[in-house]
């Protein structure tokens, strides 16, 4: 970003930051505004502050543009992610993965099965809320027949869904975290494995141990899901090839956009093995997302396979543009630099920096309840600290995911918390103790931050 246009005292910066948090909290929690409107309101206030300080609008606008340019790669990437989801739906890649995943359901290991399957579906569709609203509701229904504890079932669903949200290249939060600090999407996902995989394994062990408390009964609901997936005519073994191609490209460290373009091409070739989509239909699916034929009676499965399209990325792209503009304006007005100078003497080690970033991400979730802003504000604010300490930006990207993305569903008044408790009909405080994966990620990232284990230096590129 550009050099600050103002030099203000840390005390002024703290007051400004508290006012920003208060405005966002009141408008998003109290008035239930979408985050875009809250950010625009804050930007207007900062523009007025800058005008009062004698800064021209042109200079402030250039500061905002500088902020946007720092994350322009992600804004372009979201277009390709929307296309990729549509292509992998049309080819049957995502539906086929879900279809075979349903074989993992075991009445004797119900909680464990629920966690594993929601993890698979979460990664394949990249949306935690969609996973909870579809598979989550199904598992809660089956849990009644299995005499299962609904709080544990909900904890398993939330853990699996947010594992998928965190690790899927199709997830908007994953893309945002990578873009805000300027690293490649797949580089970010690979680095998250250090905390995410141990957290997933430990969570799986806990649900394996708890699963012995459920009774054995039939799994009619799962068979219905499988039958409805088959009815879409998208289930083919060879449809898994795009996933294999994408994985291979990721392992070879190919740039995310190139990897996605190649995967889209492979998906389109496979699509025409089993369907005859016209060019105009193809354009519609790529813009608005794939949708199964209206005459198909496939129940909740329709929500799972109706995804993708460039249009589906607009919400995320616009909040990213606004948040990056906000970050650029905060920097231009000297607020971010002043905040940093006020605590710079404290942030002298990787452990302290990790703790501060994690605490900030968690605090934004608690105070504002907004997942995106916990990533954007923390990433923008503390990236210079990591640079000063000689730490690679992939470290801060992992931390804001471990303390931001996966902690939002554990806050009762947050966006995810309200949505999940509503669709699952289980209070957040009831499933919170069993959402093992979410707080294990936070614990591990703090441990690694203070020990230095898995942290990479800036020159390790």
The per-residue pLDDT for 407 is 94
pLDDT tops 70 at residue 460: no
Which two structure tokens, joined as six digits, stand for 330?
């905060």
Confidence of residue 266 (pLDDT cuts 50, 70, 90): very high
Q: How many domains does the chain have?
A: 1
Rg for the chain, CA atoms, rounded = 22
pLDDT tops 90 at residue 140: no
CB atoms within 10 A of CB 294: 7
Residues 409-425 have a mean pLDDT of 84
Residues 110-132 have a mean pLDDT of 88
Residues 300-326 have a mean pLDDT of 82
Contact 190, 250 (CB under 8 A): yes
Which two structure tokens, joined as six digits, stand for 79?
């277009």
pLDDT tops 50 at residue 22: yes
The per-residue pLDDT for 461 is 47
Alpha helix ranges (H) inside 70-184: 72-90, 93-101, 110-125, 128-131, 137-145, 150-167, 172-181
The per-residue pLDDT for 145 is 61
Q: Is residue 132 part of a domain?
A: yes
Please report, for residues 217, 249, 292, 382, the alpha-carbon distance to residue 270 in angstroms, rounded to integers and kept in the order given. Answer: 38, 18, 17, 44
Task: Tell me 390's DSSP state.
Answer: T
Please report, for residues 78, 80, 118, 184, the alpha-carbon distance to residue 189 in angstroms, rounded to integers and kept in the order given. Answer: 16, 17, 19, 9
| 14 SS3 class | helix
pLDDT tops 80 at residue 257: yes
Give the whole-angstrom CA distance, residue 150 versus residue 424: 9
Higher pLDDT, 81 or 115: 115
Strand partners, 244: none
- pTM of the predicted model, to two decimals? 0.78
Residues 199-217 have a mean pLDDT of 83
CB atoms within 10 A of CB 323: 26
| 49 SS3 class | helix
Strand partners, 391: 457
Contact 177, 375 (CB under 8 A): yes
pLDDT tops 60 at residue 362: yes
Confidence of residue 119 (pLDDT cuts 50, 70, 90): very high
Taking only the tens place, the pLDDT of each residue in 311-322 is 988 887 887 788
Looking at every residue in the chain, the average pLDDT score rounds to 86
Q: Is residue 139 part of a domain?
A: yes
Contact 333, 6 (CB under 8 A): yes
175: Cβ–Cβ under 8 A, 6 or more apart, which residues? 74, 77, 78, 81, 169, 185, 316
Helix (H) or strand (E) holding 366: helix 350-367
Select from 439, 442, 447 the least CA-distant residue to 158. 439
Taking only the tens place, the pLDDT of each residue in 232-252 is 999 999 999 998 898 888 778
Q: Is residue 337 part of a domain?
A: no
Higher pLDDT, 214 or 33: 33
Contact 119, 200 (CB under 8 A): yes
Tell me what percent of the residues of the chain surpass a pLDDT of 90: 40
CB atoms within 10 A of CB 459: 7
Higher pLDDT, 412 or 222: 412
Confidence of residue 219 (pLDDT cuts 50, 70, 90): low
198: Cβ–Cβ under 8 A, 6 or more apart, which residues? 440, 444
Q: Is residue 169 part of a domain?
A: yes
Higher pLDDT, 102 or 306: 306
Select from 107, 129, 112, 108 the least CA-distant residue to 436. 112
Q: Is residue 102 part of a domain?
A: yes
Please report, for residues 233, 359, 402, the alpha-carbon distance to residue 411 in angstroms, rounded to integers and kept in the order given. Answer: 40, 14, 15
The per-residue pLDDT for 450 is 94
The secondary structure of 124-157 as a DSSP string is HH--HHHHIIIIIHHHHHHHHHTT--HHHHHHHH
Taking only the tens place, the pLDDT of each residue in 58-93 is 999 999 998 888 677 767 877 988 898 899 889 998
Q: Is residue 124 part of a domain?
A: yes
Contact 401, 356 (CB under 8 A): no
Find the range with the poorest average confidence among 150-154, 333-337, 444-448: 333-337
Range of the domain at 295: 73-313
Please report, for residues 96, 99, 226, 232, 284, the alpha-carbon distance to residue 235 in angstroms, rounded to integers and kept in the order given. Answer: 5, 7, 10, 7, 22
Residues 431-437 have a mean pLDDT of 96
Handedness of CA 265, 310, 327, 411 (dihedral sign): negative
Residues 204-213 have a mean pLDDT of 86
Residues 410-435 have a mean pLDDT of 87
Q: Is residue 90 part of a domain?
A: yes
The per-residue pLDDT for 357 is 92
């Amino acid at each position: 970003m550009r050099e600050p246009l103002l030099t203000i005292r840390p005390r002024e910066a703290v007051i400004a930051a508290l006012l920003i948090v208060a405005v966002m909290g009141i408008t998003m929690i109290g008035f239930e505004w979408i985050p875009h409107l809250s950010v625009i309101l804050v930007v207007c206030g900062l523009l007025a502050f800058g005008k009062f300080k004698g800064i021209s609008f042109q200079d402030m606008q250039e500061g905002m543009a500088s902020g946007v340019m720092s994350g322009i790669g992600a804004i372009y990437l979201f277009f390709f992610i929307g296309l990729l989801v549509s292509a992998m739906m049309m080819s049957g890649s995502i539906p086929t993965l879900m279809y075979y995943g349903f074989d993992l359901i075991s009445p004797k290991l119900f909680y464990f099965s629920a966690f594993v399957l929601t993890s698979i579906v979460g990664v394949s569709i990249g949306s935690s809320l969609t996973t909870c609203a579809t598979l989550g509701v199904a598992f809660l229904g089956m849990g009644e027949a299995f005499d299962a504890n609904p709080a544990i079932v909900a904890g398993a669903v939330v853990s699996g869904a947010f594992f998928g949200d965190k690790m899927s290249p199709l997830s908007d939060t994953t893309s945002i975290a990578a873009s805000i600090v300027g690293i490649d999407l797949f580089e970010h996902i690979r680095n998250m494995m250090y905390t995410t995989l141990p957290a997933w394994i430990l969570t799986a062990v806990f649900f394996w141990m708890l699963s012995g408390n459920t009774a054995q009964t039939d799994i009619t609901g799962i068979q219905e899901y499988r039958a409805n997936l088959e009815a879409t005519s998208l289930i083919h073994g060879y449809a898994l090839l795009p996933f294999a191609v994408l994985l291979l490209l990721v392992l070879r460290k190919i740039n995310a956009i190139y990897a996605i373009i190649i995967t889209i091409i492979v998906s389109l070739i496979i699509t025409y093995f089993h369907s005859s989509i016209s060019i105009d239909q193809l354009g519609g699916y790529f813009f608005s997302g794939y949708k199964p034929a209206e005459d198909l009676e496939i129940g909740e499965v329709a929500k799972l396979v109706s995804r993708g399209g460039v249009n589906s990325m607009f919400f995320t792209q616009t909040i990213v543009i606004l948040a990056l503009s906000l970050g650029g304006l905060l920097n231009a007005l000297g607020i971010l630099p002043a905040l940093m100078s006020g605590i710079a003497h404290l942030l002298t080690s990787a452990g302290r920096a990790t703790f501060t970033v994690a605490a900030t991400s968690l605090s934004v979730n608690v105070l504002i309840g907004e997942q995106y802003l916990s990533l954007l504000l923390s990433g923008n604010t503390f990236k210079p600290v990591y640079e000063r300490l000689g730490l690679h930006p992939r470290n801060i990207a992992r931390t804001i995911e471990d303390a931001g993305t996966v902690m939002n569903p554990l806050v009762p008044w947050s966006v995810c918390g309200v949505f999940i408790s509503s669709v699952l009909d289980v209070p957040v405080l009831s499933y919170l103790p069993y959402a093992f994966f979410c707080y294990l990620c936070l614990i591990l990232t703090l441990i690694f931050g203070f020990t230095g284990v898995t942290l990479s230096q800036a020159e390790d590129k």
